[in-house]
Amino acid sequence: MPAPGILVTGGAGFIGSHTCVALIAAGYRPVVLDTLVNSDARSLKRVACITGIEPVLVRADVRDAAALDRAFAAHPVRAVVHLAGLKAVGESVADPLGYYDVNLAGTLSLVQAMGRAGVRTLVFSSSATVYGDSHPSPIPESAACNAVNPYGRTKAMVESVLADLSRSDGRWGIACLRYFNPVGAHESGLLGELPHGPPNNLMPYVAQVAAGERDCLVVHGADYDTADGTGVRDYVHVMDVAEGHVAALRHAACRPGVLMTNLGTGHGASVLDVVSAFERASGRRIALRIGPRRPGDAPAYWADARGAFLALGWRARRDLDQMCADSWRWQAANPHGFDDPAPAFAANLPRFQDNSGADTDANINSNVGHSHA
């Protein structure tokens, strides 16, 4: 029996490529649809190094209805994992229309194409930014969505659209995953985060300081009401997030309706916690200096992670030390990203195993229309 096909939009990116690894390990056949504007097709070669299977790549934009129709016709799939989109908060403030176009209009285009193809199982990449910055932590899924920037508002709007769609048509099974702070890399050193320009996120920036590519880390505020005065966030390993997609896919495939759930560890780590863990992982000192707070930064922000365990049987398994160790392995083995050859040691590593917790994919087609069953 052939492996069930899953369309992964944005599948050549950081979270997308790791999700492809998890999908293949779980017995699926990912078909990647990506513009490659903020990603690299060579990530899929690295997926093949890890799994022995290279995902099919369709270079297309989710806003292109005709291209989507061609993709669904050429590559029959049973479900969609929707990761494509713009994700920089600061950029969204400078270019809100661009974000509404790609993230909101692009998702509408995709869902309409899914309807035409008879594919009604969807996992959507949402974000903890939908909550805004006024809630005490841990933040449950029941907290009000008060996004404070255009990026977060695009995610909240898409969630509302998908909830309305589910209410109007009971054939849809949808899971919206509200990520907190995905970090780390695949344990092989073959896949990791590849920022375009200065990293927007803490861990890849720390990795570049450790590698000598940047002089020091600027800590934005050390006078918060936290244990060490620095900001606290919920960092979650990217492979845990990837496995969360597999669990959500299985859930959405057999349970019509819409699920909103957090993906986080349920614990916070401060900036200095991350620095200390990265120093242990790399054996190098991380130079830093204390700067002023950034406007709008919350002192502490982490997930109530119980909902994902109750609904999906999923919980984050990898701790901060492993996040840093895997991130450093990726950085050290790939200082120039995918321009470097695949690390030789990776060939000796065991194939990635399915740790997502489900037993079977026999019911994956329960919410799928006949045209692509």
Catalytic residue annotation? 151
The H or E element containing residue 140 is: none
Give the Å distances, CA to CA, from 20 to 3, 32, 210: 13, 8, 29
For 89, counting Cβ atoms within 10 Å of its Cβ (0-12 exposed, 13-18 middle, 19+ buried), the class is middle
Q: Which amino acid is at 85?
A: G
CA-to-CA distance for 333 and 344, rounded, in angstroms? 9
CA-to-CA distance for 212 and 217, rounded, in angstroms? 11
The H or E element containing residue 262 is: strand 257-263
Q: Is-contact 240 317, C-beta < 8 A?
A: yes
Residue 362 φ then ψ, to 5°? -60, -25
Grouping H, G, I as helix, E, B as strand and the rest as coil, residue 128 is: helix
Grouping H, G, I as helix, E, B as strand and the rest as coil, residue 350 is: coil
CA-to-CA distance for 102 and 85, rounded, in angstroms? 6
